[in-house]
Amino acid sequence: MTSSDNPREGGCLCGQVRYRTEGSPRWVLHCHCNSCRRQSGAPMVTWAGFHSDRFTWTASAPQTYKSSPGVERLFCGACGTPMMFRSERWADEAHIAVTTLDDPGSVTPKGHVHVAEKLAWMHLGDDLPQHDHVAGG
Ligand SMILES: [Zn+2]
Ligand SMILES: [Zn+2]
């Protein structure tokens, strides 16, 4: 793969935080956990896992909040947009909030995770696999 393989760009609502990533995401999943819900203000958050070596911030750096041990959530300090989830458990992955991509439709969700915490009124109308916690576990 070359350095210009499948580039994607994205950013926050106000535009201060911007990023660029290359390569296809390893996975794209809807997360129903309570932490994602509280941080985003939405009933679920769709994440894409990109290789962290192929991800760069291209404008202002985001703010960091340690939401649990070994877990960081990055967001724009100016407008509050949730941007990234980073965990020691998946140290080589940059988990990007899909809706911050300039073209969120360019990636396709493949499943639901943390469905054990899903809101009862959140009815899933797709046929994607549903995992109680993380995919494969
Ligand atoms: Zn912003
Ligand atoms: Zn979550």
pLDDT digits (tens, 9 = 90+) for 53-86: 999 999 999 999 999 999 999 999 999 999 999 9
- What predicted TM-score, i.e. pTM, was given to this entire model? 0.94
Ligand closest to 83 (CA) is 1
Cα(92) to centroid of ligand 2, in Å? Answer: 18
Cα(14) to centroid of ligand 1, in Å? Answer: 4
Cα(34) to centroid of ligand 2, in Å? Answer: 7
The radius of gyration computed from the CA coordinates of the chain, to the nearest angstrom, equals 14
Give the chain's domains with CATH numbers.
8-117 (2.170.150.70)
Ligand closest to 38 (CA) is 2
Ligand closest to 19 (CA) is 1
For residue 51, report the phi and psi dihedrals to the nearest 5 degrees.
-70, 125
C-alpha dist (Å) from residue 115 to 20, 91, 99, 122, 133: 30, 23, 20, 10, 6
| pLDDT tens track, the chain, 137 positions | 455 689 999 999 999 999 999 999 999 999 999 999 999 999 999 999 999 999 999 999 999 999 999 999 999 999 999 999 999 999 999 999 999 999 999 999 999 999 999 999 999 999 999 999 987 64
